[in-house]
Amino acid sequence: MNKTITLLGSTGSIGTQSLDVCRMHGYRVFGLAANSSVEKLLEQIREFHPRYVAVVDPAACQKLEASLAGQPDAPRLLQGADGLRELAAMEGPDVVLNAVVGIAGLDASLAAIESGHDLALANKESLVTGGHLVTDAVRAHGVHLLPVDSEHSAIFQCLQDAHSAKTLEKILLTASGGPFFGMTAGELRTKTKADALRHPNWNMGAKITIDSATLMNKGLELIEAAWLFGLPEDKIQIVVQRESIIHSAVQFADHSIIAQLGVPDMRIPIQYALTWPERLPSPVPELDFTALTKLSIAQADEETFRCLAACKKAIRKGGLAPCAANGANEAAVAHFLRDEIGFLDIGRLVEGVVDSDAFGGDYTLADVHECDRMARAYVEAHI
């Protein structure tokens, strides 16, 4: 199965694991994109020889351009956010994998879809902030939207029996619970950045790891699941699965439940998005059932973890409310990572912005970006 891939966000955690899959199966890399990690991007260019690279950060662009100067086989360099969108839209790849972090990935997702590319989506914010824009574009252009998040990939895999999928009744969306599972608000008040970055099961970037600690990540995934699979929020149940072995499950009309299990390694869902509908040997070790001592299930605590409650409020409000929640969270997490606010302030700010407006109605891409700006301004005014 020879495929050609464009990878957006190639130097991050999902990006580097995606290249593990490309390396194993000999996939050709058409384009790579990064924000600012020049040294890692140079290593990837030397190994995978893409025709194009895009770099968003201006200083990093200059540095990469100087490093590539005079090389006869150097890729063409595309610069800034416009360069990211241009790369996403280029003819050449069989699939575009979007692993950009944050709302910055939305425009690139739309560019890929509108250019007729199948989109492997690891950028959950594309659906959280612009859900109807993305899904309308997918329908209009007749492309496939292939989930990469481990939970959404699990649900997608469980629904591959098209006949049973018609009777989907409920989604069981699993969460690890993060490093602070079972703690009270009083205990969370003193938690630091170093505490929040100690995820028990997954190796992820800083922003997503903080989102896991606050359960914001699960709130965003609930919104994403509603758009991907067409179920309302009250048909998506979040359960804590501490070992991260059950990646999610679906319940059908007869109350049968089918789950997808595997070791906690993102290369499984990444590979399935790239090989779908086929399955190929994986770089991931198999799950040894004889070594499992328990598979625990618990309820998610949205009373303590207010980010999750805020995301549920946001999707019930509809319109741009999820976009506002995401923008406030991105801004608040940035402040937390700079030790400028406390851990519980993240949930306070996200919930505050969701409560600040009705947010209803239809919207355009320009409205999405204005709502994001407003949400970030709310955070600056309320920290």
82 is in an annotated binding site: no
Neighbours of 303 (CB within 10 A): 10
151 is in an annotated binding site: yes
Q: What is the rounded CA–CA span in Å between residue 184 and residue 39?
A: 42
132 is in an annotated binding site: no
Give the contacts of 369 (CB within 8 A, at least 6 positions apart).
none
13 is in an annotated binding site: yes
Half-sphere exposure of 194 (CA within 13 A, CB side): 0
Choose among 80, 75, 40, 81: nearest CA to 61.
Answer: 80
Q: What is the rounded CA–CA span in Å between residue 10 and residue 180?
A: 30
Sign of CA dihedral 258, 264, 266, 267: negative
150 is in an annotated binding site: yes
123 is in an annotated binding site: yes
Neighbours of 72 (CB within 10 A): 4
Choose among 321, 335, 337, 334: nearest CA to 383.
Answer: 335
205 is in an annotated binding site: yes
218 is in an annotated binding site: yes
234 is in an annotated binding site: no
Half-sphere exposure of 339 (CA within 13 A, CB side): 4
212 is in an annotated binding site: yes
Residue with tokens 């649900």: 155
98 is in an annotated binding site: no
221 is in an annotated binding site: yes
14 is in an annotated binding site: yes
Neighbours of 289 (CB within 10 A): 8
Q: What is the rounded CA–CA span in Å between residue 77 and residue 56?
A: 11
199 is in an annotated binding site: yes
121: region left, alpha or beta (phi > 0 left; psi from -120 to 50 alpha): beta
Under 8 Å between Cβ of 5 and 19: no
Q: Which residues participate in the annotated binding site for 1-deoxy-D-xylulose 5-phosphate?
A: 124, 150-151, 176, 199, 212, 217-218, 221
Q: Which residues participate in the annotated binding site for NADPH?
A: 11-14, 123, 125, 205
Q: Which residues participate in the annotated binding site for Mn(2+)?
A: 149, 151, 221
Q: Which residues participate in the annotated binding site?
A: 11-14, 123-125, 149-151, 176, 199, 205, 212, 217-218, 221
